[in-house]
Structure 1
Amino acid sequence: MTNNRIKRVLAWALLALGLSTLAAMPAQAETWIKAESENFTVYSSAPEKTTRGYVKKLEVFRNLTNLLLGSGDAGPKVRFEIYLLKNRDDIQVVRPSFSNNVAGVYFNCGEGTSAYGTAPGDGASEGNVDQSLIILFHEYSHYIMFQHARSYYPAWYIEGFAEYMSTAYPAKGKITVGEPSVIRGWTLAEDRWIGFEKILNPSFGFAGDKSNRDWDVERFYAQSWLLTHYMLSDPKRARDLNTYFAQVGNGADPIASFEESTGIKVNQLSSILKRYRASMSYLSIPIPDYPENKIQVTKLNPATSAYLLDRSLLTTCMQAEQGKAVLARLEKLKGDFAGDIAYQSALARAHLLFGKAEDAEAIIGPIVQKNPEDFEANYLMGRVYYQMGQAASGQDRTDYTDAARSFFMNAYQINKLNAPNLYFFSQSYEAQPDYPNTNALNAANGAHVLAPSVREYAVYAAYVNLAKDKRPEAIALLTPFVSNPHDRESAQRFQKAIDAIKEGKSAHEVMSTLN
């Protein structure tokens, strides 16, 4: 397909939009608000006072994580997106397969990064313990850890650190560090611990192997939390951990490296930690409250609630069945939101991901012509043509990909801190004779810097770096994924890929190992 035909299609779509009429928007009982701070965007169906309180706590918590990890705010400012829901029923809209016990979840994939939680008063709180906030802190700790990860972390420490951070409680200019976990305390009180040689073994993680029972996983979390608490409670032990991480990350035996680095015998850990638990303490650190005037709250149009949650789900990498259901629900609203750009963009994205690219093109084409400064419209237009290019061949493939690249470039000029746009922008250079050129390399690395925990970005950036013979850089990109506690099989593939890089294998050979 030639670029001239692309222009004709866009012109036709623009005419079609001009002939449409704006229908009345449906009345909605529920109104969402959008609260923005320096580092968070919270869409909330909870009261404004509750939402502001959550945003303050999140900012104070972020200040704490930066303090503990020795990091400041020198990096790019990308707001972490959270959806604060009124009750757990809405969580089951997020993922219909979830049980009623799920109070929050964090998604991190190639389409975007976001978290969902429930507000106080939803039944998720016990006494003074806000379980929803604990879950958000746990998941955000994973996000922060990956933002700073430059080396291997074993599965027990990834989950143990998140549990350790999750109980932090910010109030009146202070925040606690290392408060006891009520839930993990119940598990440990059963006094049926599993051996630490199993917990330290890389083959045992979040799901463990098939022989692990549900109770084993609960004990894994509880004992990992307590071990992390113990190691971080003493400066020397904390420094010893870094030595251990380096050794086990280079393939050393996990038991021997732990004992050598820390001077602690693994078969004595249970008795050591049981004594420690009887007298463990926590810190209270002075951290200023987040200023009220730095939180901007916008009341969204009441009609927006008809599609806001479904729009958000399009960036969570749903399975096809749920994605098609979301597309169907958005399609039903089409007559009510003919002039709503946010809705039209969501519908176009839904068609792109779970329908036909041609249908997405017909929707987003007129929008980008009428609103050339709209980031979402340019990005989605680029995605549409890139996807069409992947299904084409010869000159059509080149034309589509060139068109996609021009839209990704437009989107980049509007927002330079969007990781998905940089990821696809880099790939749109594939038809160029010098691919991967410097632009492709910089865009790939940029996507990874903005979202280092996204597997797709890291793998692609590693490929581009390998193609440019930047082997140490490729190894650094892949290393954090060797410790994925949620998918041990995937973690093993990453280790094999790193070994292949060290052996001098080609970029394609390394990628085949990962795939």
Structure 2
Amino acid sequence: MRNSISRRTFAISAAVAPLAVSGLARAQEASDWLHTSTPSFSLYGRVGEKTLVNMAEDLEAFASLLRSLHGVDAQAEERPLPIYLVPRQPDLKRVQPSLTANIAGFYNASVGDIFAVLALEGDTERGRQVLFHEYTHHFMKQHAPAAYASWLVEGYAEYFMTARFKPDVVELGVTSPRIAWLRGAVWTPFDQILGRRARTGDRMDMAAFYAQSWLLTHYMMSDPARLARLTRYADAVAKGGDPVALMPEAAGVSFKDLERVLRQYMLALPGRRLPRPPSSAQPLTVTRLPASADDLLLENQRLKMGVPRAERPALLALIRERAARYPGDRLAEMTQARAENDYGDRDKAQALLKHRIEVDPRDVEALQTLGWSCMLQARTDPANAQQRLREAREWFGKGFAVDANNALLLYDYGISRRGDANYPNDNTVNVLLKAQALAPQVAQFRIAAADALVRRDRFDEAAAMVEPVFNDPHAGPQAAEARRRFDEAVARRKPAATSEEGDK
């Protein structure tokens, strides 16, 4: 009776019946949220239609520019990056309450989802630059992942965020808001800039890091010979080289003279002007989301990031209260199911999810979440763990039948096999590697794939898998886990000479 409504679900429905009339009427209303999509982006905005469309068109043009400059096939299949545009900075706190007032937006790449949120605050030009910056990170992790030096990770994003689209050309590197800081501040010595991570130090330290990293990147990319040396430098650092010691050779100038050279360079600041990528002739379609989006769209994204333990009871109560206003609404039911599954009543979560699957058997998100719920039950009910895991894989299998390239489904299926006696077999390794390949931005996908590779004595591959994480200035606490996995893989692999002698 997997698809039937349980007595408990019926009782809950009856309990909220007095609210059903007003709730249904509200659900039929529209929200303030608009949605549009392009090949590379799925944009949600509590902004005007013109602003949303202009942002979507510029972002797609920017994605085309990056693909062109980096030789990426325009037909390469990618999941469109979801972006949420809000009018004010305090709106961001509905997704990440700990954000400070000076943060205009952020990019999240976690097991829950990959997305970006941006507060426009009436300044669409600044908002566009922030999105270009964050999308550059996303693009490089997708198409050219490596253990880049932290200064280059941020300098590269700062360089491309300056793109300005004119009717026929794109201006790149012509100007930057960092110039004002560089002209008026005392610079930090470059040997300190090159050897640090971006997210360390006070506000002034971070300002110096971003500004000087941007200018050095601009300088290295403005000349073919310097660009070739920068490419060799990036490759050497990715292989374990010292990002500080290698710079004088790459820049062609000593540390003693580097600041003087860059200050002189900044006076001219030669930018690039490139042909504007052709835009699609198809006009964008804009739809308005149902009323539930006003109350729950951002809270749903907050759940996907994970919620600190102390904040969970209040958030769960808020979501229960708001979801009750919209009986039968997909966003309301999925948001409550996610909250109940992780922090509340897991039986209620599964009832909601099964209802969503009854409504739409091809709802991959509901299928994946229900499988994950069964996996959580397996952890808390050891006596029935194998049964719960079999149920999880049944739901994952239904999801695969709809979307065989869903990275989260692949990851969940892979880790559901960790209790197997022969874990990981060839199929499980391939599943985890595919999840990582589809969403290389997610550190946990890389760490899980590296763990499986180490268990199969594929140590070089495991080390290479996690290298991009521990140098990533945005990796957070997973950087330390990636470093541990890297060190383990390096320590366990056999030296080449030993292997050769053993083969004789």
> TM-score under structure 2 normalisation?
0.89
Q: Of the candidates 344, 347, 352, which is equivalent to residue 363 of structure 1?
A: 352
Structure 2 distance, partners of 1:487, 1:15, is: 44
Give the CA deviation at 1:440. Answer: 1.8
Deviation at 1:476, TM superposition (A): 2.1
Q: CA deviation at 1:213?
A: 3.7
Query: Which residue of 137, 144, 153 maps to 1:158?
Result: 153
Q: 1:282/1:190 Cα in 2 relative to 1: closer, same or farther (>3 Å)?
A: same
Structure 2 unmatched runs, 5+: 495-504
Higher relative contact order (CA 8 A, sep 6+): 1
1:65 matches 2:66: yes
Check the 8 A contact 2:31/2:291 in 1, yes or no. Answer: yes
Find the counterpart in structure 2 of residue 308 from structure 1.
297
146, 170, 176: which one pairs with 1:181?
A: 176
> Does 2:260 match 1:271?
yes
Distance 1:486 1:51, change over 3 A: closer
1:230 is matched with 219
Q: Name the counterpart of 2:327.
A: 338
Q: Is the 8 A contact 1:422 1:444 kept in 2?
A: yes
Aligned residue in 2 for 1:101: 102
Indicate yes or no: 2:457 matched with 1:469.
yes
TM superposition shift of 1:452 = 0.8
User: In the TM superposition, what is the alpha-carbon distance from 1:423 to its structure 2 partner?
Assistant: 1.1
What is the aligned counterpart of 1:454 among 418, 428, 442? 442
Deviates more, 1:130-139 or 1:95-104: 95-104
- Counterpart residue number, 1:117: 118
In structure 2, the residue matched to 1:417 is 405
Match of 1:197 among 191, 197, 204: 191
Q: Which amino acid aligns with 1:224?
A: S
1:37/1:13 Cα in 2 relative to 1: closer, same or farther (>3 Å)?
farther
Deviations 1:426-458 (A, max 9, x none): 112234343212332222112211221211111
Q: CA distance change for structure 1 residues 494 and 94 in 2, over 3 Å: closer, same or farther?
A: closer
1:237-256 Cα deviation digits (max 9, x unpaired): 11111221222233333333
Q: Secondary structure of 2:115's partner?
A: strand
Deviation for aligned residue 1:17: 8.2
Aligned position for 2:501: none
Q: What's 1:429 paired with? A: 417
Secondary structure of the corresponding residue to residue 147 of structure 1: helix
**Range that drifts further, 13-22 or 443-452:** 13-22
Cα distance in 2, alignment partners of residues 269 and 318 from structure 1? 45
Q: 1:478 aligns with which of 466, 470, 482?
A: 466
Deviation at 1:142, TM superposition (A): 1.1
C-alpha distance 316-424 of structure 1, shift in aligned 2 (>3 A): same
1:262 Cα deviation after fit: 4.3
User: Which residue does 1:43 correspond to in 2?
Assistant: 44
Alpha-carbon distance between aligned partners in 1 of 2:142 and 2:283, rounded to the nearest angstrom: 24
Cα distance, 1:50 vs structure 2: 1.3
Q: Secondary structure at 2:270's aligned position in 1? A: coil
Structure 1 residue 300, shift from structure 2 partner: 1.8
Matched with 1:3 is none
Name the Cα RMSD after superposition. 2.6
- Structure 1: 5+ residue runs without aligned partners? 1-5, 507-515
Question: Which position in structure 2 is the counterpart of 1:350?
Answer: 339
The 10-residue stretch of structure 1 (408-417 or 268-277) with the greater mean CA deviation from structure 2: 408-417
Structure 1 residues 340-381: Cα deviation after superposition (integer angstroms, max 9, x where no partner) = 123111110111222242331232233324532221221111
- How far the C-alpha of 1:108 sits from its partner, in A, is 1.3
Number of the residue aligned with 2:199? 207
TM-score by length of 1: 0.87
2:141 corresponds to 1:146: yes
Residue aligning to 1:512: none
1:13 touches 1:366 (CA, 8 Å); kept in 2? no
> Could you say which residue in structure 2 is the equivalent of 1:511?
none
Q: How far 1:311 moved relative to its partner?
A: 2.0
Per-residue deviation, residues 181-217 of structure 1 (Å, max 9, x unmatched): 12x112101240011111111xx22233xxx443122
Structure 1 residues 218-248: Cα deviation after superposition (integer angstroms, max 9, x where no partner): 1111000000000111122111112212222
Name the aligned partner's letter for residue 33 of structure 2.
Answer: W
2:208 paired with 1:219: yes
Cα 1:8–1:167 change in 2 (3 A) is closer
Asked if 1:399 is matched to 2:369, the reply is no
Paired residues of 2:83 and 2:116 also in contact (CA < 8 A) = yes
Amino acid of the structure 1 residue aligned with 2:22: A
User: Does the 8 Å contact 1:109/1:317 carry over to 2?
Assistant: no
> 1 CA distance for matches of 2:202 and 2:117?
28
User: Deviation at 1:469?
Assistant: 2.6
Could you tell me which residue of structure 2 aligns to residue 510 of structure 1? none
Q: Which SS does the other structure have where 1:78 is aligned?
A: coil
CA distance, structure 1, for counterparts of residue 53 and residue 59 of structure 2: 10
Change (3 A) 1:243 1:433: same
Confirm or deny: 8 A CA contact 1:137 1:166 kept in the other structure: yes
Q: Hey, what does 2:497 align to over in structure 1? A: none
CA contact (8 A) 1:37 1:296 kept: no
What's the % identity of the aligned pairs? 28
1:252-271 mapped onto 2 (5 Å cutoff): 252-271=241-260
Distance 1:435 1:272, change over 3 A: same
